[in-house]
């Protein structure tokens, strides 16, 4: 692209009229010169000019070629095509509307899903240089334990290693906020003082913690969230001079975080932090010199030093780990094989929704593909009526490439309009669609129509336009001039190639829709099976209400410090709750004892770490999982939930603080650890230093209290009166209204201790279905797409069969005139349609087998090759195809042979 080219370009666009008149003048001058020569050779002036003009030929043809030789010709041609294309579309508004709406549907849906995928999986986290942020994960692969947490000395080692700029352990907890009208439960994150510097975020008012503050215990300052500031403090402008009392301790509010700030957590609870407090993780209430093997810091985030990649940091970290293992051999038994992994922080936040989102994107992509195929079919049908137009254009000199370009431009016009329409609909329905998304989706508040989403919509539109426009465009270019000019308008059986193309498209459409429908069917069956799975406990008529006992920083003022201090409160509470109207049974456990509440289970895992155990008399074998689920419950828990006792006994009054700790295990654990012996009387204990031996006194049946999908997780129940727990769940069985009973429970709890918050009243049925909410969303979405695909496929087959019938009206007339029964005609049409459908089904089934294997991990209880689903969907599709054939078939049947034979 040099200066001359640009000057030429300018001539076309900026001096267009001047260039045109110059062209005219130059050509006229040429003729004059020629005339001069001819005059000199003896002709008269007028004759000479006439001869010169004839010699030269047509002005317009030359001018056109000259114009083409000037730079930028393709733009002019493109604009010409656009003008022509829009005129053509205006002349057949029905077709245009159908095509544009179909594309709008495909592109709108795909863009919607892409915006979710973009905000969640593609965009970096909303912190500065977020690719330098990592999550630190300690594993004991030798003991099959992952994410075991780190200890304070290990944290110090990491900080001093020079790999990280900042490292901050994070400790999620709940606290009781008192001092306002009602005690409230708040989500608290305890972090190192460098946390906000690590993330690179500043509060909108006030300040964060001082990164250099290494004082022992909890710093008496907190930072609160924007949500808490509005909800509890009514957006008080003087918030920075206030203090709050959490778990009876006083803290000064030093900062308020901006609205929309989410902490980078794995669960929704961890992301919606309301209060941040800081400590250097030593000093009361923690130990003054925390030992190396006390892993009480469940999670940690870190920022790498600038310029260091995660891979480089990981190898340096591995070296550090190796040297620490040698240096402190006693704390790192070799059979645990302690390792530390750096996981990108974004992975921690979005890792467990990645697969579902990709599935959704794939499903909606199929819908877009199917709508493209539909429009391609429409275009092919139209092409047969435009054959004459194309032939005439070819006859007067248009090249095949020119015609192809023209048709492709028309397709692009359609797809761009469709894309704009789709985007417009999406924009209008934005708020409604956001409400459909499950609430616990990470980074939900970052979903919006950004530039990358718009770019995606444009690329999708252009891509679709090329995809569905290419075949008809190439097709139309290859027109047999003679044939088309003479025959168009009559019944043409000579468009065999076009008919084959349409058939191929319908089969493709069918196959794609089938794949989508089979995927939806498999997901639906998984969901249905899970919904109807044998729970092993009875959730009906049970509600759970939560409360929390405070943990003051100074243990000496803790009223509920030990299990025996707590026991009278718990006993009295159970007694009072059991007397409430409508209540038949009451029990209390820690919050992990609420069945199937994933967020609470995660909470326990995060704040108390995993329960690693060693079994008396058993060497640790690596094929045993030494990690088990545990919760503490009161004795009536099992009877309330209807979990039968298989051997031994339940907890009773004889078990208290002074007697040895007892436990009840489930059948899966008994069979895993003591397959051929009686587990009663056997002992185990936690690997934490100073843990007491626990004796097994009972075995209960397996129940799906941890996960609907897995029946045989190992489960331990400890006696609440022996272990104590700060986070309590009150379970009530009976006949009452949830709201009413929650108020009554709150009254009872606060009459015993007015500082305790009561929250989270929910029936167990609701809890069980909430545990399926993510799966339910996937099923709903994929199901919606599959139905759309089915509709489009049905329309596709209807279109093709109609077209075939109208094309062959002449032939049908002949057959009828020669004596065929009308029923035979019907059969012919149906057989044709059935043939198409079965071909589509065959291809579809093969593709579906591949796809279902890819989604195998999302399925429960159905094999990816489940014959029932495959057969059922295939039959459904063939049925739909037959229905779609019905109307055209009837039309074929009712052809009047006299009319048909005469029509051209």
Partner 1 sequence: MGNEAELLPGTLDLLILKAVSLGPLHGYGVLLRIGQISGRALLIEQGALYPALFRLVRQGLLKASWGKSDNNRRAKFYELTSKGRKRLREETDGWNRLVAAIASALAARPQEI
Measured in Å, how far apart are the chain's first and last C-alpha atoms?
55
Report residue 636 as tokens: 């009536």
Residue 51 near partner 1 by CB under 8 A: no
The token duo for 661 is 């700790």
Which backbone phi and psi does 862 adopt, to 5 degrees?
-125, 140
Give Cα 824 distance to the centre of its chain.
51
Which is closer to partner 1, CB of 60 or CB of 904? 60
Cβ contact 611:691 at 8 Å: no
Question: Does the protein bind partner 1 through residue 55 (CB under 8 A)?
Answer: yes
Q: According to CB under 8 A, which residues from 500 to 519 bind partner 1? A: none
Minimum CB distance to partner 1 smaller for 36 or for 165: 36
Residue 802 tokens read as: 């109609």
What's the closest the beta carbon of residue 347 comes to partner 1, in angstroms? 54
Q: What are the backbone angles phi and psi of residue 247, rounded to the nearest 5°?
A: 50, 45
Is residue 693 within the footprint of partner 1 (CB under 8 A)? Answer: no
Region for residue 283 given its phi and psi (left: phi exceeds 0; alpha: psi -120 to 50; beta: otherwise): left
CB of 22 to partner 1, least distance (A): 7
Smaller CB distance to partner 1: residue 10 or 787? 10
Q: Which two tokens stand for residue 193?
A: 């003082």
> Do residues 485 and 388 touch, judged by C-beta distance below 8 A?
yes
CA distance 33 to 14: 30
Kindly tell me which of 53 and 305 has the beta carbon lying closer to partner 1. 53
What does the alpha-carbon distance between residue 645 and residue 695 come to, in Å, rounded to a whole number? 17
Q: Which is nearer to partner 1, 9 or 467 (CB)?
A: 9
* Near partner 1 in 650-669, by CB under 8 A: none
Please state the separation of Cα 361 from the chain's center in Å: 8
Minimum CB distance to partner 1 smaller for 60 or for 653: 60
Question: Which helix (H) or strand (E) is 856 found in, with range?
Answer: none
The stretch among 59-67, 216-224, 673-681, 770-778 that binds partner 1 (CB under 8 A) is 59-67
Q: Which member of 21, 24, 66, 681 binds partner 1 (CB under 8 A)? A: 66
Between the CA atoms of 747, 749, 754 and 757, what dihedral angle is there, to the nearest 10 degrees? Answer: -100
Asked if residue 61 binds partner 1 (CB under 8 A), the reply is: yes
Q: Does 319 bind partner 1 (CB under 8 A)?
A: no
The CB density around residue 899, as the number of other CB atoms within 10 Å, is 10
Q: Where are the beta strands (DSSP E) in 654-693?
A: 661-666, 683-686
CA distance 386 to 373: 20
Query: Per CB under 8 A, does 24 bind partner 1?
Result: no
Task: Identify which range of 54-62, 123-131, 371-379, 602-610 contacts partner 1 by CB under 8 A.
Answer: 54-62
Give the chain's radius of gyration (CA, Å): 38
Residue 32 binds to partner 1 (criterion: CB under 8 A): yes
Q: Does 75 bind partner 1 (CB under 8 A)?
A: no
Q: Provide the minimum distance between the beta carbon of 84 and partner 1 in the complex, in angstroms, as a whole number.
A: 24
Among 25, 584, 747, 811, interactor with partner 1 by CB under 8 A = 25
36, 76, 529, 766: which one binds partner 1 (CB under 8 A): 36
Nearest residue (CB) to partner 1, 57 versus 819: 57
Long-range contacts of 882-885 (CB under 8 A, 24+ apart): 882/830, 882/833, 882/834, 882/837, 883/794, 884/794, 884/795, 884/797, 884/798, 884/801, 884/833, 885/797, 885/798, 885/801, 885/829, 885/830, 885/832, 885/833, 885/834
By CB under 8 A, name the one of 10, 43, 62, 492 that touches partner 1. Answer: 62
Answer yes or no whether residue 54 interacts with partner 1 by CB under 8 A. no
Contacting residue, 16, 30, 83, 735, with partner 1 by CB under 8 A: 30
Q: How far is the CB of 368 from partner 1 (least distance, A)?
A: 41
Q: Taking contact as CB under 8 A, which single stretch among the options 64-72, 465-473, 724-732, 777-785 is the one that binds partner 1? A: 64-72
DSSP 303-334: EEPTT--HHHHHHHHHHHHHHHHHHTTTTS-T
Q: Tell me, residue by residue from 128 to 157, as one string, x for binding to partner 1 by CB under 8 A and - for no binding.
A: ------------------------------
Instruction: Report yes or no: 764 and 733 within 8 Å, Cβ to Cβ.
Output: no
22/47 with CB nearer partner 1: 22
Question: Tokens for 244?
Answer: 């709050």
Tokens of 7: 């000057």
In which residue are the tokens 């456990």 written? 589
Neighbours of 141 (CB within 10 A): 12
Among 33, 74, 427, 693, binds partner 1 (CB under 8 A): 33
- Selected binder of partner 1 within 13, 18, 20, 22 (CB under 8 A): 22
Under the binding rule (CB under 8 A), the answer on residue 65 touching partner 1 is yes
Beta bridge partners of 590: 728
| Contacts of 178 by beta carbon, 8 Å cutoff, 6+ apart | 245, 246, 248, 755
**Candidate ranges 28-36, 439-447, 590-598, 866-874; the one touching partner 1 (CB under 8 A):** 28-36
Token pair 């042979």 is found at 897
- Span of 26-34, 597-605, 784-792, 867-875 interacting with partner 1 by CB under 8 A: 26-34
- Using the rule CB under 8 A, is 53 a contact of partner 1? no
Residue 44 binding partner 1, by CB under 8 A = no
* Nearest residue (CB) to partner 1, 34 versus 822: 34
Separation CA 529–CA 703 (nearest Å): 16
Instruction: Tell me if 18 contacts partner 1 by CB under 8 A.
Output: no
Among 57, 334, 496, 675, interactor with partner 1 by CB under 8 A: 57
Q: Which stretch binds partner 1 (CB under 8 A): 25-33, 167-175, 358-366, 515-523?
A: 25-33
Helices and strands (H, E) in the chain, number of each type: 31, 22
**Among the listed residues 17, 42, 54, 69, the single contact to partner 1 using CB under 8 A:** 69
Query: Does residue 26 touch partner 1 according to CB under 8 A?
Result: yes
CA distance 464 to 102: 11
Task: Determine the 3-state secondary structure of 538 from DSSP.
Answer: coil
Q: Is residue 34 near partner 1 by the rule CB under 8 A?
A: yes
In the bound state with partner 1, the residue whose beta carbon lies nearer, of 59 and 685, is 59
Q: How many residues interact with partner 1 (rule CB under 8 A)?
A: 26
> With CB under 8 A as the contact rule, which of the stretches 23-31, 110-118, 314-322, 460-468 interacts with partner 1?
23-31
Quick one: which segment of 21-29, 298-306, 326-334, 345-353 binds partner 1 (CB under 8 A)? 21-29
List interacting residues with partner 1 (CB under 8 A). Answer: 2-5, 8, 22, 25-27, 29-30, 32-34, 36, 55-57, 61-62, 65-66, 68-71
């Amino acid at each position: 692209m040099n200066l001359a080219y640009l000057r030429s370009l300018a001539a076309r666009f900026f001096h267009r009229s001047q260039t045109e008149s110059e062209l005219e003048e130059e050509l006229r001058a040429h003729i004059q010169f020629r005339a001069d020569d001819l005059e000199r050779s003896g002709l008269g002036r007028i004759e000479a000019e006439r001869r010169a003009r004839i010699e030269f030929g047509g002005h317009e043809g030359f001018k056109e070629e000259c114009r083409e030789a000037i730079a930028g010709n393709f733009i002019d041609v493109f604009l010409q095509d656009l003008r022509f294309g829009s005129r053509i579309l205006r002349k057949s508004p029905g077709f245009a509307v159908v095509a544009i709406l179909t594309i709008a549907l495909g592109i709108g849906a795909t863009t919607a899903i892409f915006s979710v995928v973009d905000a969640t999986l593609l965009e970096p986290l909303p912190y500065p240089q977020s690719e330098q942020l990592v999550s630190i994960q300690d594993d004991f692969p030798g003991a099959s334990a992952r994410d075991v947490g780190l200890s304070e000395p290990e944290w110090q080692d990491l900080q001093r290693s020079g790999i990280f700029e900042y490292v901050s352990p994070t400790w999620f907890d709940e606290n009781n906020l008192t001092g306002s009208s009602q005690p409230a439960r708040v989500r608290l994150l305890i972090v190192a003082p460098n946390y906000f510097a690590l993330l690179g975020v500043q509060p909108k008012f006030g300040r964060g913690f001082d990164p250099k503050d290494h004082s022992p215990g909890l710093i008496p300052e907190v930072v609160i969230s924007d949500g808490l500031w509005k909800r509890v403090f009514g957006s008080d402008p003087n918030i920075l001079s206030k203090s709050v009392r959490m778990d009876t301790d006083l803290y000064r509010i030093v900062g308020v975080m901006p609205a929309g700030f989410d902490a980078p957590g794995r669960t929704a609870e961890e992301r919606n932090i309301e209060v941040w407090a800081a400590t250097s993780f030593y000093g009361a209430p923690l130990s003054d010199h925390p030992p190396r093997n006390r892993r009480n810091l469940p999670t940690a985030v870190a920022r790498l030093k600038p310029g260091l990649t995660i891979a480089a940091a990981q190898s340096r970290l591995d070296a550090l780990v190796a040297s620490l293992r040698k240096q402190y051999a006693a704390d790192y038994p070799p059979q645990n094989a302690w390792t530390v992994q750096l996981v990108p922080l974004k992975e921690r936040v979005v890792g467990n929704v990645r697969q579902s989102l990709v599935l959704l994107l794939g499903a909606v992509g199929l819908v877009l593909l199917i709508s493209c195929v539909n429009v391609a079919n429409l275009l092919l049908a139209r092409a047969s009526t435009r054959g004459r137009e194309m032939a005439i254009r070819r006859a007067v000199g248009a090249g095949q490439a020119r015609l192809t370009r023209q048709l492709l431009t028309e397709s692009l016009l359609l797809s761009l309009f469709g894309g704009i329409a789709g985007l417009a609909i999406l924009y209008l329905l934005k708020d409604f669609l956001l409400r459909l998304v499950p609430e616990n989706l990470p980074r939900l508040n970052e979903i919006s129509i950004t530039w990358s989403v718009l770019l995606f919509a444009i690329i999708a539109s252009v891509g679709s336009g090329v995809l569905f426009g290419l075949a008809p465009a190439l097709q139309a270019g290859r027109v047999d001039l003679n044939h088309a000019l003479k025959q168009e308008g009559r019944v043409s059986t000579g468009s065999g190639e076009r008919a084959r193309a349409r058939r191929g498209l319908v089969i493709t459409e069918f196959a794609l829709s089938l794949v989508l429908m089979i995927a939806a069917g498999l997901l639906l069956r998984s969901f249905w099976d899970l919904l109807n799975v044998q729970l092993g406990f009875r959730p009906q008529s049970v509600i759970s209400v939560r409360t929390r006992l405070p943990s003051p920083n100074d243990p000496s003022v803790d009223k509920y410090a030990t299990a025996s201090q707590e026991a009278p409160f718990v006993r009295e509470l159970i007694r009072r709750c059991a007397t409430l109207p409508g209540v038949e049974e009451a029990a209390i456990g820690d919050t992990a004892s609420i069945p199937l509440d994933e967020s609470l289970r995660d909470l326990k895992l995060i704040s108390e770490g995993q329960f690693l155990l060693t079994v008396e008399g058993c060497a640790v074998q690596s094929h045993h999982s030494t990690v088990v689920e545990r919760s503490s419950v009161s004795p009536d828990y099992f009877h309330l939930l209807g979990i039968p006792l298989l051997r031994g006994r339940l907890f009773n009054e004889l078990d208290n603080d002074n007697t040895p700790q007892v436990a009840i295990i489930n059948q899966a654990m008994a069979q895993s650890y003591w397959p051929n012996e009686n587990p009663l009387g056997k002992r185990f204990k936690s690997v934490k230093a100073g843990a007491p031996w626990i004796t097994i006194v009972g075995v209960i049946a397996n129940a799906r209290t941890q996960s609907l999908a897995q029946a045989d997780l190992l489960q331990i129940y400890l006696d609440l009166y022996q272990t104590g727990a700060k986070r309590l769940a009150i379970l009530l069985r009976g006949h009452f209204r949830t709201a009413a009973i929650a108020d009554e429970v709150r009254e009872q709890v606060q009459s015993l201790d007015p500082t305790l918050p009561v929250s989270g009243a929910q029936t167990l049925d609701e809890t069980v279905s909430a545990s399926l909410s993510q799966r339910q969303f996937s099923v709903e979405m994929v199901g919606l797409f599959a139905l759309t695909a089915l509709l489009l496929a049905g329309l596709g087959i209807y279109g093709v069969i109609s077209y075939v019938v109208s094309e062959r009206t002449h032939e049908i007339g002949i057959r009828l005139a020669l004596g065929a029964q009308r029923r035979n005609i019907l059969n012919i049409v149906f057989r044709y349609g059935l043939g198409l459908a079965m071909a589509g089904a065959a291809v579809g089934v093969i593709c579906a087998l591949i796809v279902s294997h890819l989604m195998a991990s999302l399925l429960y209880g159905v094999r990816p090759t489940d014959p029932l689903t495959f057969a059922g969907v295939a039959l459904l599709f063939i049925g739909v195809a037959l229905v779609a054939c019905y109307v055209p078939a009837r039309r074929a049947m009712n052809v009047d042979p006299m009319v048909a034979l005469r029509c051209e």
